[in-house]
Amino acid sequence: MEHLARREPRSFAARLVGVIVLVLILALVLSGALRVLLHQWPWQVAPDRVRVCGRDFDGPGYRYTLDQVTREGNVRVGVAPSLRGDLPVWGRRKTVFGVPGCGTSVYVQVGSDDFRGYALSGGL
């Protein structure tokens, strides 16, 4: 019983390893929570899914310039929350059978002249 009462203090190296493991676990949990909430890993430029005009769009797809996006008649239709703040979403305002929407594709602006394309999730 006497050997149980006496405890050796932990070394500095053992404490440091414990702190590093704890920080890594917290970073992993935080990354996972951000992935679930924003559909985006911390290192991504744009989220995997955006919701505008009452619809979900999957991406990010191809890169586009501002000229390419506006040439097709796209305008700002909303914003997509991300780790970099709210990103502008561009699309074409369309009304189909009396229901307003954004068509089947939208573009998320990630830079002044840099967009990522998104396609309607699940088809029409």
CB distance 89 to 53 below 8 Å: no
Query: Are residue 30 and residue 57 in the same domain, yes or no?
Result: no
Q: Are residues 56 and 97 in the same domain?
A: yes
User: Dihedral sign, CA of 74, 76, 77, 81?
Assistant: positive
pLDDT higher than 90, residue 1 = no
Question: pLDDT class for 116, splitting at 50, 70, 90?
Answer: very high
Domain match, 14 and 62 both:
no
Q: What is the mean pLDDT of residues 22-27?
A: 88
Structural domain for 89, as ranges: 49-120
Assess if residue 43 is contained within a domain. Answer: no
